[in-house]
Amino acid sequence: MNQKNKIESLTEEQKSRFPEFVDRWMKIGLSTERADHLIAENALRECYKITGITQPKQILWTTSPLAACILVSILKNEKLVNAILKAKKIDPGASVGASVWANVGASAKDSVWESVGASVGASVWESVWANVGASVWESVWASVWESVGASVGASVWANVGASAKDSVWESVGASVGASVGASVKEAVNENFYWSYYLGQFDAGALGFFEYFKEVCNLIKETKKAIPLWDLSKHSSWVYPYKNIAIICEKPIKISVNKAGKIHCDDGPCILYQDGFAVYGLNGVLVSKEIVETPSYKLEAKLILTEKNAEIRREIVRKIGIVRTCEALQAKIIDKKDDYELLLLNLGDGRSRPYLKMKNPSIDALHIEGVHPDCNTVEKALAWRNGTKIYIKPEVLT
């Protein structure tokens, strides 16, 4: 688009369509509908085609990002690759090859970013991103995708159940068997951050592009996003390599709270069909045990050993502040406004100060350990803020 023909403002009618795209792409990003393999594979091949990359010799499907990560590890293991290729009847020498995501997907997205950016004014770009892209991005990418990614990294091998391993063996052939063992764990640990496409979790950026295509008629400028739109609707993660591409099935369950944060009180908030699961409470990744243990059986002393403040907050929320304080023999030593400074029995002959407070953003009480020298609420708040004197903020967030 010519510089002088840039779209410098949006009409009220155009702005009124923001919610339409947020709703549409939120549903895509959080979808658990089964993927259409043919559409996804054709879309991925088109991504290769429009960027001039030779088509992959084979496209494999896995049942979760963790299974895909392990599969890529196997395929990049020189000791195993020949056996795998033989099992899958792939031409000898056709190894997985180098990652081509930078060319296949990233360059296409970058091209669309640049084309759209050159066609609209800064205020329009910022308005559409704030109202469409960022809104979807926050729930789908920042909450769900980041949680999946973190869980893949943390669950590399210890939490890969037999079902997940079976999925990998099914993809590459039974001949690999148990010989993979620790070598896969090492490979996954070392190579977790390979280039891959987010699939459905790229909904924020793709909704942003689609708005400009449909509402602002930027058809030519968004053309290269077409296969990415199809791919995002029918895949979770995608690993595009020179010779072999790998596509992940979508989860069979995604559960978020009203704020769009991962959350499920009694089971996994994200679950893939091979059993790979993510557990979370109010946007915080927690262990399976914390989620699935009934609140009345959950040990209040967990908060004393848990180092992560957000996880401690969720433990307290689940157990209940009253039972937590009772179980730890809390003694109130100071009060100020909505704060209380408590001494809690650590069970080892020592008592330590904890600040009891209300989190305004989630309307919940929680307790947080403070320096042993804190004997007033103000000292505890000052220590928590990294200052010598506590200054009350005008607005609590």
Residue-wise pLDDT tens digits, 28-37: 999 999 999 9
Q: Which residue has the higher pLDDT, 20 or 90?
A: 20
H or E stretch at 366: strand 364-369
Q: If you average pLDDT over each of 20-29, 42-51, 109-118, 143-152, which comes out highest? A: 20-29
Q: If you average pLDDT over each of 40-44, 94-98, 127-131, 242-246, which comes out highest? A: 40-44
Q: Which residue has the higher pLDDT, 18 or 392?
A: 18
> Residue 80: what pLDDT?
61
pLDDT in tens, 61-89: 999 888 887 777 777 665 566 665 566 65
Instruction: Identify residue 98 by its one-letter amino acid code.
Output: A
3-state helix, strand, coil in the chain (%, to 5): 50, 15, 35
> Residue 160: what pLDDT?
42
Q: Which residue has the higher pLDDT, 200 or 179?
A: 200
Q: What are the domain boundaries of the chain?
A: 3-251, 295-385
Q: Is the pLDDT of residue 295 over 70?
A: yes
Share of the chain above pLDDT 70, in %: 76
> Residue 242: what pLDDT?
83
Average model confidence (pLDDT) across the chain: 80
- With both helix axes pointing from N to C terminus, report the angle between 65-75 and 162-172 in degrees, rounded to the nearest 10: 50
Beta strands in 255-325 (DSSP E): 270-271, 277-278, 280-281, 284-285
Contacts of 42 (CB under 8 A, 6+ apart): 230
Q: Which residue has the higher pLDDT, 83 or 137?
A: 137
Average pLDDT over residues 284-301: 89
What tokens does 364 get? 């919940």
Residue 152 CB-density burial (10 A; 0-12 exposed, 13-18 middle, 19+ buried): buried
> Residue 145: what pLDDT?
78
> Residue 395: what pLDDT?
47
> Residue 185: what pLDDT?
54
Closest CA to 304 of 263, 247, 344, 360: 344
> Residue 83: what pLDDT?
61
Q: What is the CA radius of gyration of the chain?
A: 25
pLDDT in tens, 222-281: 998 899 999 999 998 888 888 888 999 999 999 999 888 999 999 999 999 988 899 999
> Residue 164: what pLDDT?
43
> Residue 378: what pLDDT?
87
> Residue 369: what pLDDT?
82
Q: How many CB atoms lie within 10 A of CB 346?
A: 15
Q: Which residue has the higher pLDDT, 177 or 47?
A: 47
Q: Is the pLDDT of residue 110 over 60?
A: yes
> Residue 90: what pLDDT?
57
Encode 138-157 in three state secondary structure.
Answer: HHHHHHHHHHHHHHHHHCCC
pTM (two decimals): 0.76
Instruction: Identify residue 243 by its one-letter amino acid code.
Output: N
Average pLDDT over residues 309-337: 83
> Residue 253: what pLDDT?
96
Beta strands in 202-322 (DSSP E): 238-240, 244-248, 253-254, 270-271, 277-278, 280-281, 284-285
> Residue 79: what pLDDT?
57
> Residue 35: what pLDDT?
95
> Residue 195: what pLDDT?
60
pLDDT in tens, 325-380: 777 778 888 988 888 898 877 666 677 888 888 776 666 677 788 888 888 988 98
pLDDT in tens, 3-26: 557 899 999 999 999 999 999 999
> Residue 191: what pLDDT?
47
The SS3 assignment for 56 reads coil
Share of the chain above pLDDT 90, in %: 30
